[in-house]
Chain A
Amino acid sequence: MKRRLLILTWLATATVAFGVRGYAHHSFAATYFEDKRVTIEGELVQFLYRNPHSFVHVETKDPKSGETVRWAVEWGAGGQLGRQGVTRETLKPGDHVIVVGNPGRNDDDHRLRMVNITRPADGWKWGGQFE
């Protein structure tokens, strides 16, 4: 009985959790390694606040070659971010940011799915899930 209750509780939790999972026009699972995380730190060079998904472009230095790498970090749709207090003015080119994200499956894309972002200069942070 206890086990059945546990299973039912898990199922209910999973249903709620999955119920609020994202509406992505692409498959996140096919696009990113959802079970991996990487951290990048660098200068924000572009903030594309838009539908279907916003993008933050961050330039970092490759520690081995010293070459500049431009990362595309995928984020929520403009409307979704707006409901979370993120506006198109929240981030600006030149901001120094630290981003944690799920890495893209295509290495050439230098792409991440946003998990969290921090701007150390003023301590601003965002973390969470997006659709």
Chain B
Amino acid sequence: MNWSRLVKRSVFTLLVTGASSSMVAQIDLSGYWHSPMQEDALERGGGPLSGEYIGIPLTDAARMRADSWSASLLTVPERQCIPHPADYGPSFSNLQIWKDMDPATRQEIAWHTHMSWMEAERTIWMDGRPHPPAYAAHTWQGFSTAKWEKNILTVTTTHLKAGWIRRNGVPRSDRATMTEHFIRNGDVLTWVTIVYDPEYLTEPMIRSRDFTLNPYGQMGAYPCESVEEVDRPEGVVPHYLPGKNPFLTEFATKNGLPQEAARGGAETMYPEYQKKLRTLMPKPATKP
């Protein structure tokens, strides 16, 4: 064998093994994933009460906006069919994931997620394209790019439309960005979202949601129709003026917590807060 042929074969072998190793290095996220709703079940199912902010690192501005929020707001026709934004979507419904491959190079072009509720669908670009300029439109699902970090798909999302952190009016601004980690262990997918919001969060808001693989998964259509749900004069936007929301103390009262704890803030996220909580709790009456 002459040198030229040997070099050519070596280069070809290197290219083939290099390409195939990049193809098999990552785990496959494709499939239908069932949301068992076991984590934070009460918040994600029936939902939180107004004024229930414990565990959220919200700013004073966010707290003020949440205090003025009325649940009736979601009955106005303009808001009945809005999907959950990308950062809240994982909390809520079953999931389908699939990917687009370049047919020639077999490289990943994009991953897609589809949530059954309101058919929220995202594209997560894998082809190295840049995020759009700041003035580009903000959408419910934002603009997402990702890269593999070993077997974890790490996603960066920008251009989110203003949304919410919790379904009781705690807001998330359109300046927020998000980092996500998709972590698959066997038939369990853990989807971690980390939201950074300079407007309404003093620290990142970190949540995880678990899903289980459903090999028999099906996902039907979810058409939504805006109607007059509630009979009210045109133009009314339900809200509470500052100091007028009568439900803000209900959560703490029902659960025997100090009102200060229910008001949330970064401090209430951490285990150390339990020590402070003990000092805030009313002392049990001592026996004479």
Contacts of B80 in A (CB 8 A): 52
Asked whether B220 lies within 8 Å of A79 as measured between CB atoms, the reply is yes
- Residue in chain A with minimal CB distance to B116: A23
A15 lies within 8 A of B41 (CB): yes
Chain B residues in 8 Å Cβ range of A22: 45-46
Q: Is the CB of B224 within 8 A of A52?
A: yes
Query: Chain B, interface size: which category?
Result: 35 or more
A111 to B220, CA, bound (A): 29
List the one stretch of A2-10, A27-35, A93-101, A114-122 in contact with chain B: A27-35
A48 to B80, CA, bound (A): 13
With a CB–CB cut-off of 8 A, which chain A residues contact B36? 19
Contact (Cβ within 8 A) A48 B48: no
Q: Which residues B220-278 have CB closer than 8 A to chain A?
A: 220, 222-225, 227, 229-232, 238, 247
Q: Which B residues lie at the A interface, using CB under 8 A? A: 36-38, 41-42, 44-50, 70-72, 74-75, 80-81, 84, 92-93, 117-118, 167-169, 220, 222-225, 227, 229-232, 238, 247
The answer for the CA separation of A130 and B115 in the assembled complex, in Å, is 20
**Main secondary structure on B side of the interface with A:** loop
CA distance A48 to B92 in the complex (A): 24
- Contacting pair A27 B168 (CB below 8 A): yes
Determine chain A's interface SS by DSSP, over half rule.
Answer: mixed
Of B45, B227, B229, which one neighbours A23 at CB under 8 angstroms?
B45
Question: Which interface class (under 10, 10 to 19, 20 to 34, 35 or more) fits A?
Answer: 20 to 34
Residues of B within 8 A of A52 (CB): 80-81, 117-118, 224
Q: Taking the nearest CB of chain B, how far is it from the CB of A131, in angstroms?
A: 8
Which A residues lie at the B interface, using CB under 8 A?
15, 18-19, 21-31, 34, 48, 50-52, 55, 57, 70, 72, 74, 79, 104-106, 108-111
Report chain A residues within 8 Å CB of B74: 25-26, 31
CA distance A55 to B228 in the complex (A): 10
Kindly report which residue of chain A lies nearest to residue B117, judged by CB atoms: A23
How far in angstroms is the closest Cβ of chain B from A45? 10
